[in-house]
Amino acid sequence: MYWLSSDLIFPDYEEVNEDGIIALGGDLSTKRLILAYRKGIFPWFNEDEPILWWFPHDRFVLFPENLKVSKSMKKVFKDQIFTFSENKAFREVITNCSKAYRKDQDGTWITNDMIEAYCKLHEQGIAKSIEVWQNEELVGGFYGIEMGNVFCGESMFAKVSNASKAGFIQFVAKYHKKYELIDCQVYTDHLASLGAVEISSDVFLEYLHHNQ
């Protein structure tokens, strides 16, 4: 397995192992994170592990034109249950994501170091958050990284039913002409129900590098 040094470099894609890990170690500096996302690589690790850098062989993505909105979700929007904002509460969103319950997962991969690193990316306009409000209370949201024509979704949370789903639908509908695809990284039933599909890493890179 390739261990990163202080040099800002990632190995060739041929180094990816069967699980989708391309490298270990390094740091979460702004420059390294930007380089990673430009190459389609992202960090994902537990607090007691070295930093693991991932490049999945198959990528789970949503093409905005394929967004599926159920009848029940259409009613949520019609009834105006939620209001939405962008980049109004980035730290609160990522902190809530770090505390969200995940089935079959102990603890969180969004460590304090991760929070600080992504807040720095947000300060530079690279990371953005979507907030979902109900009665002026933050009840859901998600955050991710903007890479040209691709938005790389990182994590979401919901304190009430349908909050994160509504935020995601509203975001995709609003930016369907700006982003060619939304990177969801790995499969989840939640995002599959909204129309996300798996594509090969080669196809994903074509979209990622299209406007870089």
Q: What is the CATH number of the domain that holds 24?
A: 3.30.70.3550
Q: Which amino acid is at 126?
A: I
Residues 76 and 175 placed together within one structural domain of the fold: yes
Q: What is the pTM of this model?
A: 0.92
* pLDDT tens-digit readout, 72-106: 999 999 999 999 999 999 999 999 999 876 554 44
Contact 87, 205 (CB under 8 A): no
Q: Which two tokens stand for residue 81?
A: 């249950």
Counted domains in the chain? 2
* pLDDT tens-digit readout, 1-17: 899 999 999 999 999 99
Residue-number span of the structural domain to which 23 is assigned: 3-56
Q: Which residues contact 65 (CB under 8 A, 6 or more apart)?
A: 176
Q: What gap in Å lies between CA 4 and CA 63, rounded to an integer?
A: 33
DSSP result, 52-81: EEE--SEEEEE-GGG----HHHHHHHHTT-
Residues 8 and 34 placed together within one structural domain of the fold: yes
Q: Is the pLDDT of residue 59 over 80?
A: yes
Q: What is the CATH number of the domain that holds 129?
A: 3.40.630.70
The pLDDT of 109-138, averaged and rounded, is 96
Q: Is the pLDDT of residue 202 over 50?
A: yes
Q: Which residues contact 78 (CB under 8 A, 6 or more apart)?
A: none
Residues 47 and 65 placed together within one structural domain of the fold: no
Res 33: pLDDT: 98
Q: What gap in Å lies between CA 85 and CA 141, rounded to an integer?
A: 9
Res 165: pLDDT: 95
Res 48: pLDDT: 81
Res 190: pLDDT: 87
Res 106: pLDDT: 47
Residues 50 and 68 placed together within one structural domain of the fold: no
* pLDDT tens-digit readout, 129-184: 999 999 999 999 999 999 999 999 999 999 999 999 999 999 999 999 999 999 99
Res 107: pLDDT: 43
Q: Which helix (H) or strand (E) holds 30?
A: helix 30-38
Residues paired with 200 in a beta bridge: 58
* pLDDT tens-digit readout, 15-52: 999 999 999 999 999 999 999 999 999 999 988 889 99
Res 116: pLDDT: 97
Residues 33 and 124 placed together within one structural domain of the fold: no
Q: Is the pLDDT of residue 122 over 60?
A: yes
In the chain, the percentage of residues whose pLDDT exceeds 90 is 87
